[in-house]
Amino acid sequence: MLYLTKKDIKRIFSLKEAIVAARQAFAIYSAGKCLAPLRTNIAAPKFQGQTLYMPSYLEEQNIGGVKIISIFPANRNKGLPTTHAVMVLVDKKTGQIASVLDGTYLTQLRTGAAQGLATELLARKDSKVGVLFGTGGQAATQLEAMLTVRRLKQVYIFARNKKRTAEFAARMQTALSSYNAELIANADLSWALSVADVITAVTTANEPVFDGRLVKKGTHVNGVGSYTPKMQELDEYILTRADKVFVDSKKAVMAEAGDFIKPLAAGVIDPNQIGELGELALGKIPGRRSDEEITLFKTVGIAVQDLVTAGAIYKKAVEEGVGTKIEL
């Protein structure tokens, strides 16, 4: 069994490679070539957290696995990470555990890659200004993904804690200096929304974090953070204004994302007008058709993302002799 830490993964696997894996994963999912049941969510209300169990299986690649991820937002106030996860990769030819990976970084990587793929496929090619909501554990890869697929000149960053937001922007300005983008914390929100070409929300909010009526034509919007029926970071206005709406999984989003569950229940949006990103990647449905269209992507995360990405990481680690071999 090969054990792969965050350091191991970062050494051999880039965000660009993760975006390639994301395209493959979504295409596989939308083509029905995987077994990926809805995740099991076990809540810990006493501590305001959840633990998710996400199994999946790819027969064509002879791999299966399960990711266990705990999300406890209150940990931020304790100086602890809000997300902890582990990924177990199984060789389905023998049933042996092939690898155990740092699931926390894997989640950050594949979630950033999902948004990066959506932005690559849907945002205007000339996009220059970004807006990012959230500074938690997922925010760094979300920011890097936006910068990887579009040459943004400025990204405006917002979160509830202004001090933490400023610290995050300063830290990322150094970490992502090679992209030559200016990262601006705590600007005027209304103005930032009015000029944004790409907007990404990655929060644990239970109420919308921005007014969809302020979004200009031609903008691409990503909703990344909401993953339970009670959570909602996108309002109904942006859903109804969007000309094209895509999700990672219709089944998962309509069962788990408050962003969509609430408007669907109210009859505000038509589920028949929602497409899967995998269908777009396969060329089965059209994407953006003009610079005036507002496009939107919503992801709750599906297990096949983790499996395909983990499989690609494991393969490369074996080829390059990276990781620690462990006997159980």
How does pLDDT run along the chain (328 residues), one tens digit per residue? 999 999 999 999 999 999 999 999 999 999 999 998 988 999 999 998 999 999 999 998 899 999 999 989 888 888 888 889 999 999 999 999 999 999 999 999 999 999 999 999 999 999 999 999 999 989 999 999 999 999 999 999 999 999 999 999 999 999 999 999 999 999 999 999 999 999 999 999 999 999 999 999 999 999 999 888 999 999 999 999 999 999 999 999 999 999 999 888 888 888 888 999 999 999 999 999 999 999 999 999 999 999 999 999 999 999 999 999 998 7
DSSP category for residue 200: E
Assess whether 13 and 97 both reside in one domain. yes
**Residue 115 covered by a domain:** no
CATH code, 7 = 3.30.1780.10
Domain shared by 131 and 232, yes or no: yes
- Whether residue 221 is contained in a domain is answered as yes
Contacts of 58 (CB under 8 A, 6+ apart): 28, 33, 34, 35, 64, 304, 307, 308, 311
Q: How far is the C-alpha of 53 from the C-alpha of 67, rounded, in Å?
A: 6
Residue 117 lies in a domain: no
Confidence at residue 227, expressed as pLDDT on a 0 to 100 scale = 87
Q: What is the tally of structural domains in the chain?
A: 2
CATH of the domain at 148: 3.40.50.720
Same domain, residue pair 262 and 143: yes
Distance (Å, rounded) from C-alpha 35 to C-alpha 190? Answer: 43
Residues acting as catalytic residues: 67
Judge if 14 and 73 occupy the same domain.
yes
**Hunting for tokens 């740092």 — which residue is that?**
102
Q: What is the pLDDT of residue 137?
A: 87
Q: Are residues 188 and 87 in the same domain?
A: no
In a domain, 58, yes or no: yes
Based on the domain organization, do 166 and 60 belong to the same domain?
A: no
Residue 8 resides in a domain: yes
Q: Which domain does 206 fall in, by range?
A: 124-301
For 191, other C-beta atoms within 10 Å of its C-beta total 11
138/227 same-domain check: yes
